[in-house]
Amino acid sequence: MTDLRDPAGQITPELVVLLADDGSAIGTAAKSGVHHRTTPLHLGFSCYLFDHDGNLVVTRRASDKATFPGVLTNSVCGHPAPGESLVDAVRRRANRELGIDVSDVVDVRLVLADFAYRAEMNEVVENELCPVLVARLREGAVVRPDAGEVGWHGRVDWAGFAGDVIAGRATVSPWCAEQVAALNALGPAPAQWRDAETNDLPAAVVLGPTAA
């Protein structure tokens, strides 16, 4: 979906935040047209969701995605809207992609503040400053993926998943591969990963409250 409804119910284009090399905002662009051969640098995020048993929710990108269709990736990812906090963006995309009630996404924490990546497939470029967050699902949270976003989802042991990704035994999106390696370097237990320094965030980012 590339459109949003405002409080009055009017449909408006979904926008992404365009960035200068230093991470400051320099404008906006419609999400529907921002990705192409010369995609400008823009703001994104990725989030890794863990259930109450400590298992990671992984997803497989829908088969009709323009880039990297049908590959495993993180739990949710997306683009904060102009002025939207990362925490709110995580909850909004968890609801949009996985059908999870926003109140069931808790303990949202920033763990990689300065992650960035560039990837290309079929002459479409991904080019993002992409902070990485983790969050917890409340016990009993219902997951109902949107088939247009997610082809499959499952819950896996983090250590096994990270080991497979790092060893090349699992085919994942390029950004997921880089993120997993960086997250694994934080330690073996996701619940004990330290919070990242907010000073390392791109200047355009609004983090937002992280309380449950």
Catalytic site positions: 77, 128
Rounded to the nearest angstrom, the gap between the alpha carbon of residue 31 and the centroid of all alpha carbons in its chain is: 15
Q: Could you give the 3-state DSSP secondary structure of residue 135?
A: strand
Q: Could you give the 3-state DSSP secondary structure of residue 144?
A: coil
Q: How far apart are CA 132 and CA 116, in angstroms?
A: 10
Residue 193 DSSP code: P
Query: What is the spatial order of strands in the sheet that 25-30 belongs to?
Result: 25-30, 15-19, 42-43, 124-129, 116-121
Backbone angles phi, psi at 4, to 5 degrees: -125, 160
Q: How far apart are CA 31 and CA 79, in angstroms?
A: 8
Contacts of 211 (CB under 8 A, 6+ apart): none
- Cβ distance 126 to 163 under 8 Å? no
